[in-house]
Structure formats: C-alpha cells, structure tokens
Amino acid sequence: MATPHIAAEKGEIAPAVLMPGDPKRARRIAELLMPDARQVSDVRGIGAYTGTVDGKPLSVMASGMGMPSLGIYANELFRFYDVQRIIRVGTAGGLSPKVRVGDVVVALGAHTDSAMNTTRIPGIHFSAVASYPLVAAAVAAAGDSDRVHVAPVVSRDHFYGNPAEQIQKLADYGTLCVEMEAAGLYGVAAEHDREALAVLTISDHLLDSSQDMSAEDREHKFERALHLAVAAAHC
C-alpha cells in the first residue's frame, strides 16, 4: 500500500518516526542509530529508513522544508501507516541571547505566521503544543545539561526576511528560536490524536552570526538533540 508520497508497505514504518527536514540528515541518523536499518521509501528523494534501537522499532524520514511539505508526510504517516508519534529533529536560528549555537531547544509550543492552523477550529486561535509525555522524556534524557532549553519557538513560512521588530517581540515573550515546521507538525498530530515533539539544534543565531554552522555541520552536528529525540520516541 503506497501513498502518493511514500512507497513503503503498511507495516514497514515503525510507530515512532524521527523527522528531520533534510533527507541527508535522515540517512545519517538512520546509519548512526540503526545498523539494521533498511530503506523503505525513496519517493522524491525523501528516504525513509526503518530498523531498531535497543530492540525497539524506529523509522527515520525527512519532511522537506516548510509546513506544507511536512504536512503531506505527517498526514500520510498518521493516516495510512498508523504512526503514533513523530519527533522532529530539526535545526533552528537562535533569536534570544538565552541560546547559543549548538544548544538544543525542546519546543514546548510553536507560534506561527502561517495560516495552516487557522482554519482548524473556526473562531479559535489554535495552540500548537507538544505532547507532554514526549516533552517529559526529552527533559529527563537531558539531565542537568545547561545546553538544553524547554521553551516556545516560532515556525515561520519564510526563511529569509525575519522582521527585526517581530523577532525582538518574540524574544521578549520567551521565544528562543525560529524554524519552519513545528507548528505544522503539532497541528497535524492534534488533528489525528497522535503525539509530536520538535527537538531543535541551534544552527545559527540572528543576533550574532559569528558561530553559525555550515551546511555540512547542519547535516552532522545534532547528537545532543538526537539523544533526546530517541528518548521521546521510545518513552
């Protein structure tokens, strides 16, 4: 049973899926975590890999960039493959002095400028929030690390052109970083009564670009986030 965007048969995707934006990061995560991983889909170059970690099934599949792309994969995984939880393993731009490049943000909730959640409940401004058990598992896995933060993030439709005033206001309201998928993921998960979490590595900083990661680093430097994401996937 294939969907328009996933070629795997039913049963070939695990109940828990790690979902980076980048297909190369997905392959790298699968190679790192699962010596028994096998590729179960490659539609549009979005590889999906399934194997086990400590005997527990796990899949890794990229979302592509932005909420419309993520929405397609998350919908198909929840609806047709009985996926129970998706954990985004993403990168994000720091927007507050409280975070630095290499830190990890567990996205408790996601503000957004996207219209994707606005029509979900007529007359209501939808709250895009993470699933509490997954947050708790990620926080427990972080131990007492001062490089891991639990806070709201903002999911924007545009990568370029962050308005300075808006970014300042978001920081004033405790938002730590900007990325492009978490709010969409939390909306689709709520729609399907499933679980979701985004664990984000700060890859660059809007207030100080001196430590920004290269494209290659963004593919590789996510070990801290991955540890938390696996704990959430299998809690």
Ligand X SMILES: O=P(O)(O)O[C@H]1O[C@H](CO)[C@@H](O)[C@H]1O
Ligand Y SMILES: O=c1cc[nH]c(=O)[nH]1
The footprint of ligand X (CB under 6 A) covers 20-22, 65, 90-91, 159, 179-181, 218
Which CB sits closer to ligand Y, 99 or 233?
99
Q: Which of 157, 204, 208, 212 is catalytic?
A: 204
- Is 204 catalytic? The answer is yes
Structure tokens at 63: 């979302």
Nearer to ligand Y, 72 or 200 (CB): 200
CB of 218 to ligand X, least distance (A): 6
Q: In angstroms, give the least distance from the CB of 108 to ligand X.
A: 17
Binding residues vs ligand Y (CB under 6 A): 91-93, 159, 178-180, 203-204
Of the two residues 133 and 163, which places its CB atom closer to ligand Y in the complex?
163
Q: Which does 188 bind (CB under 5 to 8 A by kind): ligand Y, ligand X, none?
A: none
Minimum distance between the CB of residue 69 and ligand X, rounded to whole angstroms? 8
Half-sphere exposure (CA, 13 Å, Cβ side) for 85? 22
Task: Give me the active site residues, please.
Answer: 204
